[in-house]
Structure 1
């Protein structure tokens, strides 16, 4: 199942272009089972359920899994202590996935560093080893966590967790991880410079997964790190906010204020909402005095690292903090100075174990980066940037006539303009691959929609039309750019109340709570009409069109032949085509293999022709005459002369 990379595409061993269509597995893999004894065994699901879930993904036409692991899952017990039971479980789950012809990308996942800083990823000991005290993070506003924010977990504000990118604990840990040797040269942990300590343990832990999968050819590659944070890197002035596009929601201390609060020093902090004060006037709603009550985010006998490094001092006369180096981090370019050296180190270790492993490059969310995307010359690399419609994600509401440009914060109105804006945004990501990564392929590592739109209304009514439309918008925009993608996400233990079991996110394609609304082996799939759709798995040439029209229930493929291979197209019989379908081709022949819930079409084109086309229509949607007229006019539009009825 090995893939070659060239000309911005994935190629299989037969020289066919492969469009990867997959899903992230799974949303709850960020969290362990239990609190007293941490274990990630059975994340994403028990081995006894694996055939059920992998079989469902195969029937839905998904060919690729971005498999979620975390550093904590591997090395939670302490530095250099690996969870062998979990690693054994991973290998067993990988082997079952191969039965269903699923390619796997290993995703070392993290969000805002760790569970103790509002997200997931790193083990607890990474915080305590540098002297932090997570029990005081809430009091000092060093992190915002669902368990300690002060309210009921079910009332945790929606999509507030990313504000931790701009809070002290996450920013400090990532700064030390990326550039500790430069900005904190005297800080050592267990005899190692702090940057070397953190990076070496992270890489060593992920390499344990490489070792147990090195003989599995369907493990096609590894990501470097999910959505890394820049920390303080690139911040122009520590007394101002991190950057103009910073996500401000709730308490929004400046970097220096965050350092002061973490040191137990009371501060006046801005509070922001998502109302007109932010988006029209660019001002906070109010300012509140935060009193730390003698609590510090550092352990009692530990002096703040940034004070030790001379970033600030406590004035001996006034006893007030004084910022000494406001521009310390400004000259550092995250891409060239931090990410590329790390990615090369990671790649060298990975390819010493799996020589042909693909590297999936992930920069921080582009709207949270102050520097530009760097030039990356690592061979066999893929741009794995993520993309979501911000309005749908943050407001949990599908508004086909309105969105916001995340870079300019300008509103966009009108259904057609919104769709075009999404297509342009994805094209910009693809163009970045060509400009900065030597025309590397692009795989959108995360994209998708929340299913709990409009305050969970669909769970009461059973009507998922808005979710279908929102998902179709996302995938149609991907198809318009001929992009590979892995949707976020599939969570086997999703519930309507708690979503994907992490920060109240609810983006899973599947939920047990929806099983009672449907019948059949795929009951529990939500808004399937949006993402279970015809698609080309492998194309014997360079595609110029591969798209599904949900309204007309038609699939169109067009390509310029580059090999005599056979093109493979997935057709879902259980969704869209329950009454059958009709296939037209410009030339050559088609034969069909039937499976449980889906068909695979094999299109052998006529090698005498340069350009080839295929059209799938729903049996009940057109009469034979209408279908013939539609197909022939469609083919003439592409300047193809032949029309064959198959």
Structure 2
């Protein structure tokens, strides 16, 4: 969801402070390992990121790249199989699907499974058939339909007229009712039981942009309110469906630059998924006024927060209005930094509009200023320890480096959008001795597979345009 509203109280104080200080984080808040420079595997000019990777069942490191596809949190926006096939053609391998509690429990204690059967499950099938991993996200935007948004059922709302900030007041009052938390836990348990054993679900996102109203400053809510709820939700989900990742998010104000202070959770396969909207760009109109330095400081903070807790990182949302000043530069800089920091993400969002955050225009055509950067080479799966990757969008040169990992034969699968970036073909080079490595390219999936020499401890692969 988008955090862009006129607010008062704690949320307004937090945003005012961020604007006043430019959203900058401490200059030492880096995502780099300071000791990596002493490692003989490290590049002379670059310290490698030490991070907890996302992995697949084979133990390979995966990079998840994709988009949010909004609609089901509002009931239904007529998703079609072709939408997911198009995302896959861009190289996306994951889709985040917002759903809403209000449709699952429209009346207290009355759960409507038809929403899962008739709406959610078919869309999960479309995504899976296109080769996309699925994140089911329990969404809220402006808290509830009673506030003109989506999320919590209307029956949880107080009978008030809060005007433009009613969504903040309703969220604030919600936490005074522990029985509402019981209902949310039961709702998630129903969802997990419905999809029990279904390997199409890659992850469950517990609570989009958790909101505690005027108590949303992280030291006021993340350990006091959100963490106890998350523990209950994880237990309820994994009782029925233990295999998928579970995604936890920080407080809603985190996306503007505040830190994540929640204590570590005592579970494995938990993803940390903050949202990235520096400088209030979530409103879809504000431009890229703050520059790459501030953008990088936000990303560094999130990398650090994940590393400190031993959690993989996935940026659950970021985006900018296509008509906003500097929109193309924002996409270019963000994707470069995501590569540099080995970041997985789901962009906001796959939708159709002319001037907003949609990746398509109203005619259903892709917006080039987004897709030419989002559809880029990246290592989808690495049988080894991924160290770095980058793509020079001007020279069309992609490079990936990885090291051997015990019990895995060194191999990497790279998405290569050949028609988009290499119309005259491409050449592949590897640091392994010639004749000791091999590669193949699947045109249907646009996947380059490079099998490396297990006798070499590390490997550097370069893809560049074919001359002439």
Same fold judged by TM-score > 0.5? yes
Determine the structure 1 residue equivalent to 2:185: 203
Distance 1:234 1:447, change over 3 A: closer
Distance 2:334 2:292 in 1: 9
What whole-Å deviation, never above 9, does each CA across 1:22-79 have from its counterpart, x for those lacking one? 11112x3332xxxxxxxx2xx3534xx22x1111111110001111101123223x22
Which residue of the other structure, out of 350, 364, 371, is the alignment partner of 1:490? 350
Q: Report which stretch shifted further, 215-224 or 78-87.
A: 78-87
2:196, 2:284 → 1: CA distance?
42
Q: CA deviation at 1:571?
A: 0.4
Q: Which residue of 2 is the match for residue 111 of structure 1?
A: 141
| TM-score, length of structure 1 as denominator length | 0.60
Higher relative contact order (CA 8 A, sep 6+): 2
1:94 equivalent among 108, 121, 124 = 124
C-alpha distance in 1, partners of 2:369/2:248?
Answer: 30
Superposition deviation, residue 561 in structure 1:
1.6
Which digits, 9 at most, give the CA deviation of each residue in 1:271-314, with x for residues without a partner? xxxxxxxxxxxxxxxxxxxxxxxxxxxxxxxxxxxxxxxxxxxx
Q: Which runs of 5+ in 2 are unaligned?
A: 1-49
Q: Conserved in 1, the CA contact under 8 Å of 2:316 and 2:345?
A: yes
Find the aligned partners of 1:433 and 1:467 in 2 and give their Cα distance: 27
* Alignment of 1:550 onto 2:390: no
Instruction: Quote the offset at 1:392 in angstroms.
Output: 4.6
Please tell me whether residue 143 in structure 1 is matched to residue 131 in structure 2: no
The answer as to whether partners of 2:280 and 2:286 remain within 8 angstroms in 1 is yes
Give yes or no for the alignment of 1:340 onto 2:198. Answer: no
Deviation at 1:565, TM superposition (A): 4.2
The count of aligned residue pairs is 411
1:63 paired residue number: 93
The verdict on how the C-alpha distance between 1:44 and 1:234 changes in structure 2, with shifts beyond 3 A counting, is closer
SS at match of 2:215: coil
8 Å Cα contact 1:509-1:526 kept in structure 2: no
- Counterparts of 1:451 and 1:104, CA distance in 2: 26
Q: Is the 8 A contact 1:469 1:530 kept in 2?
A: no
Contact 2:256-2:276 at 8 Å conserved across structures: no
Write the deviation string for residues 71-128 of structure 1: whole angstroms up to 9, x where unpaired.
Answer: 123223x22233333211322222232222211111101023113324321222221x
8 A Cα contact 2:284 2:321, kept in partner = no
1:69-84 map, 5 Å = 69-76=99-106, 78-84=107-113
Query: Contact 2:410–2:454 (CA<8 Å) still a contact in 1?
Result: no
Aligned to 1:238: none
Cα deviation code 1:114-162 (max 9, x no counterpart): 13324321222221xx4x14xxx3xxxx132xxxxxxxxxxxxxxxxxx
| Greater alpha carbon shift after TM alignment, 373-382 vs 389-398 | 389-398
Question: In structure 1, what is the equivalent of residue 422 of structure 2?
Answer: 577
The alignment partner of 1:68 has SS state of: strand
Q: Give the Cα–Cα distance (whole angstroms) in 1 for the partners of residues 139 and 51 of structure 2.
A: 28
Task: Give 1:396 shift.
Answer: 2.9
Contact 2:256 2:280 in 1 (8 A): no
- Which of these residues, 355, 361, 365, is aligned with residue 511 of structure 1? 361
Q: CA contact under 8 A between 2:206 and 2:248: conserved in structure 1?
A: yes
Distance 2:257 2:344 in 1: 24
Aligned counterpart for 1:561 among listed residues 404, 407, 411: 404
Q: Which residue among 324, 327, 331 is the counterpart of 1:471?
A: 331
The answer (yes or no) to whether the contact 2:231–2:265 under 8 Å persists in 1 is no
The yes-or-no answer on 1:10 pairing with 2:54 is yes
Shift of 1:371: 7.9
Larger radius of gyration: 1
Contact 1:25 1:44 in 2 (8 A): no
Q: Which residue of 2 aligns with 1:593?
A: 441
1:120–1:525 CA distance, 2 compared to 1 (3 A): farther
Q: TM-score normalised to the size of structure 2?
A: 0.81
Render the CA deviation track for 1:559-612: whole Å, top value 9, x for unaligned.
11213142100001231122222211112434323334x521111111111111
User: What's the RMSD between the two structures over aligned residues?
Assistant: 2.6
Structure 1: distance between partners of 2:163 and 2:256: 18
Per-residue deviation, 1:224: 1.5
Shift of 1:205: 2.3
Q: Which secondary structure does the structure 2 equivalent of 1:360 belong to?
A: strand
Q: Which of 440, 445, 457 pairs up with 2:316?
A: 445
Change in 2 beyond 3 A, CA 1:393/1:176? closer
* CA–CA distance in structure 2, aligned partners of residues 592 and 80 of structure 1: 55
CA 1:372–1:476: 2 relative to 1, 3 Å: closer
* Contact 1:111 1:228 (8 Å CA) reproduced: no
